[in-house]
Structure formats: C-alpha cells, structure tokens
Amino acid sequence: MKHSEGAYPEVESTGELLTRVESGHGLHHVVVQGLDLTGPDVEEAILEVSAYDSFFLGCRMTPRLQQHIRLSGGTIFPVFEELPFNPYRSSLYTPEELMMGYINGRPESMIETVDGQIYSHYAQFRDAATPAPIMMALAERIHDHAIDDALTDLLYPVDEPAKQVVGIMGGHSMARDAEAFLSVARIAWQLARGGYYIATGGGPGAMEAGNLGAYMAAFDEDELITAVQMLADQPHYTDTHYFERAYAVRDAYPDGWDSLAIPTWFYGHEPSNLFSTQIAKYFANSLREDGLLAIATYGVIYAPGSAGTIQEIFMDAAQNHYVTFQLVSPMVFFGTDYWTQQKPVYPLLKTLAKGHRYNDLLTMSDEVDEVVRFIEAHEPVLPE
C-alpha cells in the first residue's frame, strides 16, 4: 500500500485490501485501483465495511457491490473497455512491455507492438478538427495522472533518499555514428557512475545516447565504446535493423544500470529507445516536458538539438527564473559552436539570467569531463 503526503493510501492488490479490512482499518479514505473485486471472499469483506470517501478506480465488481459502495459513500470510476492501454496502471512502462509484438528485422511490425497500438489509437484524434470523445480523453488524463504517481514512487521512494536526477536533452536526429553520440553517452556514463540518476526524453538520438551511457555504467569505458560501435552501422531510427543493434548490445551486456525515459505519444512516430529501464510515457506532451525538467533538480545538459530542445531550454530557464519548484538548478550546454553560432541560444540566456541566481549555474563546454565536473561542483540551490 502506497502513501503519499496529502493523498489517500492506495490499495493495489486484493491481498492488501483483505489485510486492511481484517485489521479493522476499514475502507474509509482509500483509493482502490484496478482490482478484480468479483471474487466472493473479496466482495463479502467489502460488504462488511463502509466505503465512505473512498475511490474505486477501474475495478471490476458486481452490481450488488457497486450499490453498497455508492450507498456507503464511495465513488466508482469506470472500467474503460477496449483500450490498448490501462488508464489505472500502477507502474511505469518497460522497454519489454512497449516492444511486445515486435518482429526482428521487420520495422513495419512496430505498428503491432503495444507501443504502436497505443499510438495508433491516440493518433485517430491527434490532428482531428474535433476533440477526442470524452471517455477517451478522460482515460488519457487518468493514465497520465497514474504515470505521475508511479514516477513519484520511483524518484522519491519511501524511507530512501530521493534520486539525484540529471536530465540529458538533445535532438532525436543525432546519429549513432556521430562523435557527439559517443560524447553524450560518456557524459551519462560518468554521471551515473558518480551516483546521479539519468533521465532523458526517451527517444532516439541524443536521448538514446544518454540512456545508453547510464545503462553501460555497469561496465567499463572500453565496453561503452564497443557498445556504441555495435550500434553505429544502423545510425538512424528509420534504419531497418535499428532495434536489432540495440537488442544485440543488451544481449552482450545484460543487467545494465537503471535510468529513466520520459517520452510521449504526441511524438509517437519516434520509437522509445531500448536502454532506459523505466519509461514514463505520457499522452500530453506539455505535462511530459514540464515534468521532465522539473524532476531534473541536479541539472540539465543540453546536447545539440533543434526546435524541441530549444523549447525545453526556455521552459527550464523559466523554471529557474521564477523559481517555480523552489530550487535553482544547473543548465549545461554541450557544444560551444552549436549554442553560440548555429543556434545562438546561450548568449540570449546569459543576458536573460543577469541578476538572477541561475546565472551562476549556466555554463558551456565542448569537453565531456568539464560538463561532468560542473554538475558535480554545482548542486541545486535555494534562491536568495
């Protein structure tokens, strides 16, 4: 049973539910999520207690039990039928779950994966002139809240220190055979070995490099370089054997280290990479981007990227500028020429930051070690 400050306890198994009832705690002020309550033992136990001010989310139950819950003051949220996703899920996704149904060497089989089926369902209304049907929209909103909840459990575990999250952002088009790809992977590798928890946008390119580097932190640097070389002859996510190369790396180097990906079905045509171990995938891109930057309290590293990365830069800057989340965090730009000449964001950001606390937490470098050392030397700070 999970407890969050200011929230109701969440009951996520029938065993937890029966234990709670049998111990005399009843079912006041709890959330019961995604359970099958049609079993006679479970039903009879609930019928013996009040469900006052409790919430039953997507639970299967008999009409008799529905009536009891409602009459005793509980609220029942519907079971959504015939959806390719569970709005009430209690955990984050994994690469294995999202890729279920993929056939090696057949990139067109992505449409048959769990990930592909969810995207196809979502995309029916993504560009439509009219809003999605209300029940579908509600299911997506509930799903994204469930992902928020599971993400909080991951990053802020009960009775353990919160994870020291560093975000790595950058373009989806960065090729696996590019020098920058290895550099980003080395940055993530060093940071993960230093105790930081790596989070990316979860897609290909620089994002894959970040998750790969964290995954390979279980191995030495020569093995990281070998892993990148194994990927290099399928440099783009549109290449036929893009996933096969990733699976080959995972087979050669099993049990890599944990990292987080936060992708979105808004960009569902871009596959989630296979090197994160936890995937918080959202329908609402705005929630995803704002949340990704908010959790990266130990800093964000910006590798070269285009419009999406630049949007994230200024969202992050606004969070630091207005101290939206009570902390000011480092912003590190990897690629001096890129961020001053090709996409001259850094000079503008330095001008914007004058007189603000985050001005001291901005830097730019072309060197992997300098990027890592800056993160290590600049913890998040409270505003003055």
> Which residues have CB under 8 Å from 97's CB, separation 6+?
114
Residues 212 and 269 grouped into a single domain: yes
Q: Residue 349 domain-assigned?
A: yes
Q: How far apart are CA 315 and CA 154, in angstroms?
A: 23
Same domain, 118 and 173: no
Q: How many angstroms separate the CA atoms of 109 and 193, rounded?
A: 36
* Residue 2: predicted pLDDT: 54
In a domain? residue 133 = yes
**Are residues 59 and 102 both part of a single domain?**
no
**185 within a domain of the structure (yes/no):** yes
Residue 240 lies in a domain: yes
CATH number at residue 318: 3.40.50.450
Please tell me whether residues 107 and 71 are part of one structural domain.
no
Domain membership of residue 1 (yes or no) is no
| Whether residue 196 sits in one domain with residue 235 | yes
> Are 140 and 180 in a shared domain?
no
In a domain, 172, yes or no: yes
Q: Could you tell me if 169 and 107 lie in one domain?
A: no
Q: Print the domain residue range for 65.
A: 10-77
Closest by CA position to 154, among listed 64, 261, 46: 261
Q: Is residue 82 situated within a structural domain?
A: no
Q: Token pair 């089926």 is at which residue? A: 117
84 in any annotated domain: no
Query: What distance in Å separates the CA atoms of residue 316 and residue 299, rounded to the nearest whole number?
Result: 10
Q: How many domains does the chain have?
A: 3
> Do 30 and 101 share a domain, yes or no?
no
Percentage with pLDDT > 90 across the chain:
86
Q: Are 206 and 174 in contact (CB under 8 A)?
A: yes
Residues 123, 162, single domain; the answer is: no
Same domain, 101 and 215: no
Same domain membership, residue 164 and residue 33: no
Q: Tell me what pLDDT residue 1 has.
A: 44
Q: Please check whether residues 61 and 121 belong to one and the same domain.
A: no
pLDDT digits 0-9 by tens, 29-53: 999 988 999 999 999 999 999 999 9
Q: How much is the pLDDT for 240?
A: 93
Q: Give how far Cα 20 sits from Cα of 5, 35, 45, 64, 169, Å.
A: 19, 15, 10, 21, 44
Torsion of CA 315, 321, 327, 329, to 10 degrees: 70
| Short-list 191, 210, 187, 185, CA closest to 276 | 210
> Is the per-residue pLDDT at 4 higher than 50?
no
Tokens representing 356? 């603000």
Q: What is the mean pLDDT of residues 341-350?
A: 98
**Each residue's pLDDT tens digit, 205-259:** 999 999 999 999 999 999 999 999 999 999 999 999 999 999 999 999 999 999 9
